[in-house]
Chains A and B, each alone.
Chain A
């Protein structure tokens, strides 16, 4: 059974800093991995989807990498802004429409 761990559980940084969020998963036989953000009281918004054959994906200030063999993914956020404050979740997909979510990293960017 897939287990997903995200470290740190919470992170507080001053505006403008670059930061890295970590995700590790136990079953490396994944089809893809998605990163989501969740704002308080809101649904999840997909940020990036990395196929299993890819090493990284970029969207604006976000860059996600995937090392499938070691069961790791990182989300890099450049030049953080207060609007980036949210909980970030990673979710590897192991097939049959089956995404497993970590419990997330709660990010606070201080103006």
Chain B
């Protein structure tokens, strides 16, 4: 069973469109994340979310919005796509403890190409 699964794995779309990437984790974790990996392979956090709060990286445009229907899902919606949004988006989850976020488990990534 896949612990963290994302769909779709590949997404090709036109500039200006709105798209969503779905993420589900079956680990019972209480925190989920979205990361963006750019063409230089640099990974940067976009959002972290648990049932208490959403933490947003201030550099993320408000065209990006996470939506969590329940604890096991954190979907990423992107409005008015731009060329610079082309990247691989990774979902991750972890179980927080008193010391830290805990070990992160990643999905396999969703490669978004904006034409």
Contacts and interface: CB of A to CB of B under 8 A. Distances in A.
Interface residues of B, number: 27
B106 A44 contact: yes
B42 A44 contact: no
Contacts, number: 63
B66 to A, nearest CB: 13
A46 B109 CA distance: 15
Contact of B45 (A52, A99, A103): A99
Interface of A: 31-32, 34, 36, 41-46, 49, 51-52, 87, 89, 91, 93, 96-99, 101, 103-104
Interface of B: 4, 31, 33, 40-45, 48, 50, 55, 90, 92, 94, 96, 99-109
Given A46-B104, A89-B43, 20 more contacts: A31-B100, A32-B100, A34-B103, A34-B104, A41-B108, A43-B4, A43-B107, A43-B109, A44-B92, A45-B106, A93-B100, A97-B33, A97-B48, A97-B55, A97-B94, A97-B101, A99-B104, A103-B40, A103-B41, A104-B41
